Structures are given as structure tokens and as C-alpha cells.
Structure 1
Amino acid sequence: MGLEDAGDLVLHIILSKIGPEGTAIVACVSKRLQISASEESLWSIFCSLHLNISTPLDPYGDPAPSFKRAYQMWRESFRMYPWSLVKRVRTCWDNLKQWLSLNFPEAKATLRKGCTEDDLEEVETALKVKLPLPTRLLYRFVDGQEPSSPSNGVMGIIGGYSAYSHEVNVYLLPLKEVIRETNEILGHLEISRRLNLIVVAVSALSTMKIFFLDCANGQLYTGTGARQMLPCVPESLVRSVHETNGDQQQDAMLLWLEEHGRRLQTGVIKIREQDGFKSISLFPEIPPLCSVAVTNGVQVRASSVFIPEMSNLRDQPPAYWYAYSIRMSLVPEGCILKGTTHSSCQLYWRHWSIRADDQVIDTVNGEAVIGQYPLLKAGEEEEFVYESCSSFPTTSGSIEGSFTFVPGSLKDSKGSQFEVQVAEFPLKLPDYIF
């Protein structure tokens, strides 16, 4: 039996399986097949599967007259790119936008509408570079973010960390800012334009945190305090893409954003709210990158983030800097000591054991944490959070220790002091640097 003899339902199923390209070919065979191949229900399936749209929209989010026309407009708009790459970039942005919609809509609102091919050519002309195809597509879908400021909240979609007065929160630059920041930063750092570097992301809070895209090899870099360039994506992945797809298929920036989206969606990193402002915290929240220990009802969670902009790998020994975050809270049942329950307890003392390559290089003993004696109370939803930083001579280290607490409070002790474990947490040069 040929396609002409198939019933409408069978024909619909067949066409949905062979995809839009096959359907377009079948439409040329006869009048009946042309009618079947033009059904809106069929093209709505293609739009859903390939473009993740449930209503007819063009690439700029404007209404299209039909699903078939919407699909055609997408193909026409991106005809100069491999369609598989278009779908991959679209999926990357869809995943990020979905997470932002649910968890950080204020940051999603800062994402700019996609740029045009003319906008991309303007950047290439102004900066004398040839943008990798994935980077071009990333900007075709989203032209970076509207700059934020501490006064209206820090809404970088990459996020950041803090340690003492050093605060970082990274956002993606729109193309106009890419031109301005590249000219300004490369000139200030006296970096040769022949290196094909452009600035694609910076911190809204610290001018030290900058991300450079190398348009020649497709790698994404960030700088150290000694002006060394560290790759932000594993070199093996970028080389693999280069060997498979050629010079125009480099996608370190795409790999970087895909990995960031995975970490957000799996809960490795989350939103932090402080002083009424929300931001994405890069301190990991789940094991093995985050350690968790509960002692007598006191829970302590700890994790770290590499700080490239403070590091100096030219020193002998080199200085790898890490920020670490300690989050402590009292379980709802309270503090339990020798069968007695207390509704509060207060920190008095800290002890740290610091290792580099499994060798103890330092121990720390002292009162308080960052000058504070946190009082933990049962039923409080918010954790007490403090952040600090430390320098290591190797790429791999760890910290573990304990806190000494007093049941009740320091002014009104309800019993003997007790030790609370801080389980070992890693400080390691990561594969992906954010």
C-alpha cells in the first residue's frame, strides 16, 4: 500500500515520524499529500519537538499566522547555521529561562531580545574578529542582559560569591557592551588585539572578574590576579569539538552555559537571599561538593568556590585562592544534650584543620567567626551564613574542623560546652570556572 492509499490517521502518524524535511518532500507528490502535509496539527508537533513552542511564534517571539509558517520562518531566519546547532542553542536558553522563571523571574526580566545578523556583523567589524557559530547563535536568541546595579539588586544569571569585602556577581554583556568593554578592558590590560579576545561577561560588583572569549580557538577564559588566562571549559571538550566540526563550530561559551544550566536545574547551586536582595550563589549546595554534618541537633553545611581573580599561579609556591561558605542552623527539634532538649545554642569557638594534597598545612583556633557569635534557635528557617577565603599552594585541598557551642546562650548557659563537627569539604581547581 502506498501513501496515497493510507487513511488520514495513518498518514498523519507517518508524516510526524519522518519529520519536517520528509514531510515537505512528500507534499510535492500529489494534491492529497500536499493537503495532509499542511495540517496545522502536524506542524504544531514539529514546532513543539524542534523549537519547544506551543503557539505559533517567530524567532523574535512575535505571533506567526500558523505553525507551518512559524516553522518556515525559523528555518529561513537561521538558514546559515546547522539546524542541529540551532536546536541545541535553543534548548540551552530554554532550560535557563525555565529555571529563571520558576526561581529568579527578576533576573529573567533582564534578558534582552535576540540580536540580528547585522548586529553581529557590527561587532565583528568593530572588534576585527570572526565570532564562532555557537556564540553567534547564543546572541541571536538572547542579546545578553540589561546591566544591573547594587541599588536595584544584583541579577547576573551566572551569579557569584563573596568573601569579606570581595563580592562577585557575573552577568552576560549585550553586544553593545561587548564592544565597549572589550575596547576598554583590553586597552587597560594592554592585551594585543591579535589574540582575538572579546569580553563577554563581567561582574557587576567587582571589575576584577572578567570572562574573555577567544574567537580563534573558541575557548572561554578568565584572568588571574597576575594576568594569567585560565580556561573556563575543559580543554579536551573544546579540542574534541574542533576535531569533529572544524574551526567554525567551537562552542566553549555554549558548553559553559549548558553546564551552568545543569547545575541550576539539579540544585547544585541555588538562589540566596540577603538583605532583601536575591542572587545566584555559586557555592555548591549538595554532596560531594558540599559537606553536611549534624551534631546534637546543630547542622553545618560547607562548600567552596575557586577565586581566579585573586589567584597568582606565577608565585613560588603558587597561590590558589578559594572562598568558602559555612551555613549553620538548629534543627526544629532543638539542641539535644544527654537527653535534655534546648531551644537555642550559641557558638563560642572554632577549630580548623587545613590540608593541601592531603598534608596538614595549617590549623586555626580562635573565638567566634568573622567577629560574630551566632545564636541558633530551633524553628528558625534561615541559616546563619558566613564566608571567608584562604590561599593554597596546590590545586587540591580540603578543610574540616569543629565549632564549640554553648547550650542556651553565652550569657545564660544551660549546660556544658559541646563540639559540633564541620565535615571535610573540598577546595579544588574546577573543570568549569564560573
Structure 2
Amino acid sequence: MAGLLSLPDESLLMILRGLHYKDLVRVLKTCRRLRQLVPDDSLWKWQCLHYFVDNECPEGMGWYEHFMYWYLDYGKYKNYAAIRTAWNKIEKFTKEWCPSIHEYLNDGLSEDELDSIEQTLPFKLPLDFRLSYRIHNGQEMSLSTRGVLGSCTVHSFLCTECLLPFQKGMRVYNKGSLCFTMDNTAGRGQVIGCRNINNFKIGRIYHRAFEGTYDLTTRTAKCLVSGDSFKEWLCDYADKLDRGEFFVDREHIFKFYHEPSCLATSHHITVKPTTMYVPSMSRAAPPVNFFAYRIIMEMPSEAPHSQSCRLTTRHWTVTDGNGKVERVTGEGVVGQNPVMKPGSKFAWISCTTFQTDTGSMEGYFMFTNLHTGAEMRVECPRYHMRALPSEDIRLKYAPNPHAQFWPDGIVFEDNLDDESDGENEDEDYMEDYMEAQEELYGIEELDSDDELDFMDPQEAFLDPHYVDLHQDLGDPYEDLVDPHEELEGEDEEVEDENEGENDNIHGNHEVENAENNSVEGGAEEIGGEDEVEDMGDENVQ
């Protein structure tokens, strides 16, 4: 100890900077010299930055006082730095690319407000989840809200996922979890486990049970697992935003993932596939896993003009997780025959489904050279699709076998514990279920032959009344904005079909075509009848 104290103050301060703040408090009690050094501003400035992500001290306040201010308010949240950093990344991204999302993020709740909310719940909130609501109490909700958690579009189907505020829509789900997100289509979202009950795990993030996944014999339902903890789930999303893995259009965040090595270049055309799993369009029993994919083609501006060409046909090889292969061919892509020339770019979104948790696609596109008429084959690399893992969640009450969605959000006061009610258990939970139907839907009596009218999300985009709900959003693919794929050059007046630039997006399909004028003002429809070997798939484009 004497040797340590013989060091100059600067050296001692460098050593003390490596200590946790709790150890610094202990050092205060050792000797007079260290007690004089420990309150040094340089030590507590680092502590504020490291633990509370704050490098600005209010005027007239020392860094030690400033640290104590943070500690007294947030000291119980050991993951504060990770959650705050995640929200900083989300705020930065949305402020720059999605101002309407950023503007409608709600301010956080106070400790007292969260304490009052917890008193109304049958469980305590996980600390990292509670901390997130100290920072932002979800987002304001309306029909035109862009979800901060991202969107997906296929055909005329547009789904956006919002972070719910505590004052609206947040309900207990199956007695062990809390619903905290909601999409604008199927009315489903994600829940966080808050009790180790009914197979829920505290802190784990689940997508709610799918249509058709209920097993009345075992009283279980399938739920997707999207994160082992709220911290992991939020930080992963924020990191992907920060790395620019998603693209933005009309202030919607589209969460297409690109495998880093998944690129192929042929005849100066680079093909880059990206994929997205869509839980709200999927189900676990019988299994249907729905995937959207976005294909991006680009020819660099330095490519020779002699390589200018027009796409004529597509050829896909689709392989499911069991090794079953389908081959799909068709004219053009999404009803178009784009022209690729130096500096041009073209992209589109389509979809496919698998009955397995994994699958892959690969293929090629045939082009015709505009100068020589020769055929050119452009390869698309193999890209993989993987569904989220699922777990069986035990139901405490039986769903209506005719209803397509379980009526979430009902807490039965007489059956909150994990024990059965005895020999009349079947009558008890069926009575609870009937009361839930009445509370949610105003149904006084529901016979077993009655059927509730719900929208099937896999058929939703075929219903014109359903699509009308989103008309106020306008064309979601006009004026494409991609923060990490800048298109150089300005729009020029077109003199013929092979000159100028055109970014054409229509019909909830996205086409970005920086210098491609092969399609003039045409609506983007699903292109042509596909010829399918083995088993047809009209969705594959």
C-alpha cells in the first residue's frame, strides 16, 4: 500500500479510472490521500459516460454530483448503457431517414408511473423492458403510423409494427406475458415473458400464437421466439439500423437481410438478394413459413455500353429444408422487362412460402443484348431463408375452434395461478372463455356452431376493402430513399426508351431503376403465368 501511495496523483488517477464506481466508494474509506483523489472530476466523468452514456455535465454541477443524480434515478438498471445506446441509434436513424417516426416517439415514463402500472399487473416487469419505457413510452398510434419496429410489403399487403405505449393496447397475454407491439394487419404483435408460467420464460420475446396452431388435447399453442431477452432483442435491431442493413421508403423501415457473401456478377451485372421472414403471414400448424425477398440488380457506370441488355426470362430453383426441389420459370420479373445499361439499377420485391423452417433459392436471368441481340445469362447466387424458432406455450383456457385469432388481453381474476381448478376445470376455463368473447366482441351467447368473422392475413391483400385501410399511406414505393445505396446522377428528360433515369415503383411492389426507361408509366403487376416443374408457386418472381 505504501508503494502505491508513493506514486504521483496523475498515476493514481489513471489506476483509479479502471475501477467500478462501487469500488471507488470503497476506496474512499481507506486513507486520507485517496479520499481526496476519488472525488476528482476526471474519474466521475468517465463513470457517467461508461454507465449512463452522458458526457455533458450541467453548469454549476461537478461530475461526482452529476453521477449521483444518475445513480439515484437509474442505479437499479444494470443494463442502462446498452438500452440507452440502442435507443440513441434508433433515434439517430429515424431522425435522419424517418422523421415522422422520430417525431411520434413518446417521452418516457417516470418511476412512479411505472410503479403504478405494475400494481395493476399480476407480475413485475423485467428491468431492461421497464428501463426502455423510462426512455420512450412507445409511439403515438394512428392509422397512418409508421411502425418504429419496421414494415413489410408484398403485393398490396403492407404490414407495419408499432411499439405500444402503456396507455394503449398493452395487455396481459395468457397470464404469463405482456403484449408490447402490434402490427396494423392481423392485429398481432410480440409479447415479453414476465412470469415463469405456461412455459413462458421471464424476459424472453415471443410472437403471439398463430392461427391454426392450437392443440386442444395438450392445450398448447406455437409461439415464435424472437429474442432471449429484451436487451438482446432491442440491441440487435438497433445495431442493424446503425449498420445500414435495412432500406427506407416513404419513411417505412423494411427489414430485408443480406448475407454478406451473397453476391454474383455476370456480364457486368451484380445481383444482390435480400430476405425477410414475415411472422404475421406465417403459421406453425400446418406449417407455412412466409418469406419476402428483394432482388437488386446493378450495372456500374464504368461498364461498356456494348453490354446494355434487356431482361427476358427468370429461372428459379427453390429448395425446401427437406431437399425437395421446385423449378420455376417465367417471363420478366414482376411483369416488367427492365433494361440494364451503365449506371442503371433495378430492384423488386416478391415472396415465397415453405412448409419447412428453412429453404433456399437460386437461379439466373436471361437477357438480350441491345446491340448484338445475343443472349446473356446473369446468375443469382443461392440465398437462404430461415424461420424463427418456436416453442409450445400452454393455454390456461380453450380457444374457440372456429375463431381464427385468439382474443388476447383478458386476465381471468379467478384463475391467475398455475394450478388447475380441480375436477370442473374444463367447465371453468370454457366459462372464462365465453366471458372473454362477450367482453371483447359484445357476444352474449356463442354456440359451438357459430363462427367469428376475422381476416386471414394470407388472404388480406386480396380483399379490396382491406387494402383501402392503407390508402392514406399513398404509394409506399414512390420516391425510394435508401440511406446506404446512393444513386448518383439527376433525372434527365427521356428522349427514347434507352435513355434517362427512371425510378418506377407501383402497386406495393418496389422497383428502383436508376437509369432504366424500358417501362414507361406501366403498373407493376405480378408478371405472367409461371411454368412450374413439380409444384407451382405463383408467388415466386
Q: TM-score range by the shorter chain?
A: 0.7 to 0.9
Residue number among 258, 269, 279 corresponding to 2:235 in the alignment: 258
- Could you report, residue by residue, the CA deviation over 1:210-257 in whole angstroms, capped at 9, with x for unpaired residues? 1122221222111334365423336xxx4xxxxxxxxxxxxx222111
Matches of 1:38 and 1:259 in 2, distance apart?
Answer: 36
Change (3 A) 1:74 1:378: same
> What residue in structure 2 maps to residue 281 of structure 1?
254
> What residue in structure 2 maps to residue 245 of structure 1?
none
Q: Give the alignment of 1:36-115 within 5 angstroms.
A: 36-56=37-57, 65-79=61-75, 81=76, 84-97=78-91, 107-115=101-109
Matches of 1:66 and 1:73 in 2, distance apart?
Answer: 11
Q: Does 1:419 align with 2:381?
A: no
Question: In angstroms, what is the RMSD of aligned CA positions?
Answer: 3.1
**AA paired with 2:206?**
Y
**AA paired with 2:238?**
G
Q: Give the alignment of 1:249-328 within 5 angstroms.
A: 252-267=229-244, 269-273=245-249, 277-288=250-261, 291-315=262-286, 318-328=287-297
Whichever structure has more helix as a proportion of its residues is 1
| TM-score scaled by length of structure 2 | 0.62
Change (3 A) 1:372 1:280: same
Residue number among 304, 314, 331 corresponding to 2:300 in the alignment: 331
Residue 88 of structure 1, CA deviation: 3.7
Residue 264 of structure 1, CA deviation: 3.1
Q: Does 1:378 align with 2:358?
A: no
| TM-score scaled by length of structure 1 | 0.76
Give the gaps of 5 or more residues in structure 1: 58-62, 187-192, 239-251
**AA paired with 1:162?**
T
- Matched residue pairs, number? 376
Matches of 2:379 and 2:165 in 1, distance apart?
Answer: 46
Q: Does 1:226 align with 2:208?
A: no
Which one is further off, 20-29 or 47-56?
Answer: 20-29
Whichever structure has more strand as a proportion of its residues is 1
State the secondary structure of the residue aligned to 1:425: strand
Contact 1:327 1:385 in 2 (8 A): yes
State the secondary structure of the residue aligned to 2:49: helix
> What residue in structure 1 maps to residue 191 of structure 2?
212
Residue 176 of structure 1, CA deviation: 1.7
Change (3 A) 1:126 1:378: farther
Matches of 2:320 and 2:212 in 1, distance apart?
Answer: 22
Change (3 A) 1:230 1:149: same
**AA paired with 2:273?**
A
Contact 1:16 1:45 in 2 (8 A): yes
**AA paired with 2:329?**
N
**AA paired with 2:138?**
G
Change (3 A) 1:90 1:293: same
Identical-residue share of aligned pairs (%)? 24
Contact 2:152 2:278 in 1 (8 A): no
Q: Give the alignment of 1:351-430 within 5 angstroms.
A: 351-357=315-321, 359-380=323-344, 383-408=345-370, 414-430=372-388
Runs of 4 or more above 6 Å deviation: none
Matches of 1:4 and 1:425 in 2, distance apart?
Answer: 62
**AA paired with 1:287?**
P
Higher RCO structure, 1 or 2 (CA under 8 Å, sep 6+):
2
State the secondary structure of the residue aligned to 1:144: coil
State the secondary structure of the residue aligned to 1:13: helix
Residue 321 of structure 1, CA deviation: 1.4
Contact 2:99 2:251 in 1 (8 A): no
State the secondary structure of the residue aligned to 1:319: strand
> What residue in structure 2 maps to residue 18 of structure 1?
19
Give the gaps of 5 or more residues in structure 2: 196-200, 214-220, 391-541
Change (3 A) 1:56 1:375: same
Contact 2:83 2:234 in 1 (8 A): no
